[in-house]
Amino acid sequence: MSRINGFVGRRNFLKLVGAGSAGIAATVAAGSIILDGEEALAQKPTTPVKKPQPVSPDSALKQLIEGNRRFVEGKRAAPNQSRLRLQETAVAQYPFASILGCADSRVPAEIVFDQGLGDLFVVRVAGNVSSQTAIGSLEFSTAVLGSQLIVVLGHAKCGAVIAAIKNEPLPGRIGVFVEEIKPAVETVRYKTGDVEKNSIIANVQYQVKKLSESSTIIGGLIKEGKLKIVGGLYDLASGKVTLVT
């Protein structure tokens, strides 16, 4: 069985979980482009893939913390954003960490952690909830691509959490992800202090727990010491990420 950084490869992973090929094959289809209404195959990169050495969960977290510090201090290094890196990642990807973040436009993970192309596998959904789709995506990033760290990243003034606190009827499908936040809110609703801040932190912690307990694949990697999940809180004003788990 082929492995990447000690993890199962794509083909064996799909056999293992019995997943269909349609969804994942969509990413492969990106190898072709359409110009002026005619299909044309994109030129294959000639640069060989530089497969990185395996990164431990703690080392991955250290890289993110250091990157966030550079961002806060206004000293971004903007790593892995060259034309060469673009060519390398066109052949394969080896993200050292995965982020389950909020879809809020003010919290772009690659920027706030000062990372580049192919460094992070980012899943973004309002309220940074561990939905079934998010869990499946993170199973892929960890078991197949080899990410050894998942950061559940919440942020201040999160509209999804505020909606969960208000507990009012919502239009369309907005209420679907808000419902997944309400259990966390109820654990701190009557706690002393600011209910909004307490709820945002509680939601991050709740989603971390749900993520580790709802997936046998992710749970198994954690038990084997190949994966770590942490929660972080992003401050919109300062840009700083503080760990809350």
Stated as kind and residue range, the H or E segment containing 183 is: helix 182-188
Q: What is the CATH number of the domain that holds 97?
A: 3.40.1050.10
Range of the domain at 128: 3-243
- pLDDT band (50, 70, 90) for residue 212: very high
What value does the mean pLDDT of the chain take? 86
Tell me the mean pLDDT in the region 220-242.
97
pLDDT band at 25; cut points 50, 70, 90: very low
**Per-residue pLDDT tens digits for 112-129:** 999 999 999 999 999 999
Token duo for residue 152? 């559940």
- DSSP conformation letters of 191-239: SSS-HHHHHHHHHHHHHHHHHHHH-HHHHHHHHTTS-EEEEEEE-TTT-
List, for residues 183-196, the tens digit of each pLDDT value.
999 999 999 999 99
Percent over 70 (pLDDT), the chain? 78
Q: Are strands 32-35 and 7-8 parallel, antiparallel or unpaired?
A: unpaired
**Interval 85-113: pLDDT, tens:** 999 999 999 999 999 999 999 999 999 99
**How many separate domains does the chain show?**
1
The C-alpha atoms of residue 175 and residue 181 are separated, in whole angstroms, by 10
**pLDDT number for residue 55:** 82
Give the pLDDT score at 28.
39
Angle, vertex CA 101, rays to CA 169 and CA 198, nearest 5: 60
Confidence band, pLDDT 50/70/90 cuts, at residue 16: low
Annotate 207-219 with three-state secondary structure.
HHHHHHHHCHHHH
pLDDT in tens, 29-84: 444 433 444 444 445 555 445 566 668 999 999 999 999 999 999 999 999 999 99
